[in-house]
A and B are shown apart, each in its own frame.
Chain A
Amino acid sequence: MARVIEGDEDAFVALIDMYRDRAVNIAYRYIGERASAEDIAQEAFVRIYETRERFDPSQHFSPWFYRILTNLCLDHLRREDRRGGHLRLVSDDEGPQQLPASETASPAEHVERQELSARVQSALKSLSDRQRMALVLQHYEALSYDEIAEAMGCSRGTVDGLLSRARATLRDRLSELLEK
């Protein structure tokens, strides 16, 4: 990151390459639409470059990266809400999400997995924006509560509450599956 701060384009390209899949997947799990997720991820890297001189090289890069990305995701959904749009965790325009076919799964099992994925996505959709972001960062990125708090600009206690309520909601929504 020190080289990026000096304006080294090769270092910036290496940084993008290292974090791009992570960025797109966080945004995708949060927003549920691939094109918007990729757009937000690209914008995150542009912001990182534009504000690189404000970054303290003695700090870790990840929390800063998560903070920029998280803010962009939350801003995106706020704009969607203002426009009267609705969240699309299972992307409405792309149809049901296509999961990669497993080599060992039968076609029936593959269909079952597809349905399961759709139900889980639908349950995630019922969470508040901040609950969902906390869950994405905790579950998929394996961030600690302190790291999530830093990324989301809130206290550790708030993160605890967000995750606790998120899981309680998901548990209710997916109770049928859990009882199987």
Chain B
Amino acid sequence: MSTCKAVRQQMSAYIDGELPEARTVAVRAHLSSCDECAQYHDGLVALGGFLDVPTTVQTGDDFIADVLARVQEREDESALARLRRAVWRPMPGWAAAAAIALAVALGSGLAWVSGPDPTPAPQMADAGVVSQEFGLDAFKPLTEDTVGGAYVQIAWPQDGEAR
């Protein structure tokens, strides 16, 4: 015969129909012969009725649009972070400007020493191409005559490999 304590420990699973058959039979037999445990059982069953007091809330009209906006925002952040890691290495502004100036000077100097270069100049990506590659609109406004656009062009050759 099951003890009252053991039966009460199994009561929740018994009510939920989660006890194995043999234990279900044992608990049922105990309840038929023990008024206190039967009362305990009835109390737990009644509890379910109290929990059924309606608490339903409905989502707002903008719920789906808000989720999609969050997804887009995360994707933009992610693409931007990747681009930053690839292009915008930690470098003070003056150092970046100096690097650009040096690159231009070296390029001009080499061209002067070696004369006309028979090979075509490497094509550089523009901000639009980079934007497209990253699925991001943030760089489209960067034109060649802006500092940002110049960085993109220098740091992102069209073959897609960042310096």
Contacts and interface: CB of A to CB of B under 8 A. Distances in A.
Contacts of A108: none
Main SS of chain A's interface residues?
A: helix
A100 B59 contact: no
Contacts of B12: 160, 163-164, 166-167
A46 to B, nearest CB: 5
A16 B47 contact: no
Contacts of B53: 99, 113, 116-117, 120
B90 interface: no
B11 interface: yes
Contacts of B18: 144-145, 160
A24 B47 contact: no
Nearest to A144: B18
B43 interface: yes
A21 interface: yes
B43 A16 contact: no
Contacts of B66: 42
Q: Which of B11, B44, B46, B50 has the most CB of A within 10 A?
A: B50
Interface in B31-57: 40, 43-44, 46-48, 50-51, 53-57
Interface of A: 9, 12-13, 16-17, 20-21, 24-25, 28-29, 34, 37-38, 41-43, 45-46, 49-50, 97, 99-100, 113, 116-117, 120-121, 135, 138-140, 144-145, 160, 163-164, 166-168, 170-171, 174-175, 177-178
6 contacts: A24-B63, A49-B71, A99-B53, A117-B53, A135-B51, A160-B13
